[in-house]
Amino acid sequence: MSLKIIACEVMKEELLGVASGRDIDFEFLPQGKHNYPDKLGQELQGILDGLRGYSHVILAFGLCGNATKNLRAGDFKLTIPRVHDCIPLLLGSQESYDKHHREEVGTLYLSCGWTNSEGSVLGEYKRTLEKYGAKKAARIYDMMYSGYKRVLFIRTGVANEENYLKISKEIGELLKLDHQIIQGDLTYIERLVNGPWPDGEFINIPAYGSIEESYFMR
């Protein structure tokens, strides 16, 4: 096996669906690790340092709060999407993300993976509720999401999507935000898994090279 993909669990179902039938070694990390970018970066570097026998390793991450900044490749080519987070991957392109961002800057993007992860908005709210009680939890979340105007749920066609959509609507109600639904596009994820990996969309690092923050600029 010469290809390994290290990914955030948020895109697990989409990645596995696109890779169906291919001999790819996947490794998924919990979404909650994004809350600590430095630790996430250290864990990713530890994984990369321990890899043997691969000619190509793909990171299904973006810059992710600088978590992937300065990561070093081993004896393999290292590829990462030229994006700041996974939302453009779920929408099909950076241009599609930019379009929706211009429409409403205060957008909370959700997908099946985002609603189902350990660090989901609903999961975090329940933990806050248990710790502080209803009134204080409400104040905390009103303050945290005061800059948001809408929840935008991205359909990607995974199994049980309607159940995740229901959770997304609950999040919208909790945060008192308008809830909207759009159709996602898996073509960026398909290219991430199957190639090609053009420099306009991907950062391709040669063996023993490092990822620099400036590489994510378009």
Rounded mean pLDDT, 121-147:
93
Evaluate whether residue 167 is within a structural domain: yes
Evaluate whether residue 89 is within a structural domain: no
pLDDT digits (tens, 9 = 90+) for 180-211: 999 999 999 999 999 999 999 999 999 999 99
Q: Which of 48, 85, 45, 35 is nearest to 64 (CA)?
A: 85
Evaluate whether residue 120 is within a structural domain: yes
Residues 6 or more apart whose CB falls under 8 angstroms from that of 206 comprise 73, 77
Judge if the upstream peptide bond of residue 196 is cis by omega within 30 degrees of 0.
yes
The pTM for the full model equals: 0.93
Which domain covers residue 75, as residue numbers?
3-84+187-216
Same domain, 206 and 139: no
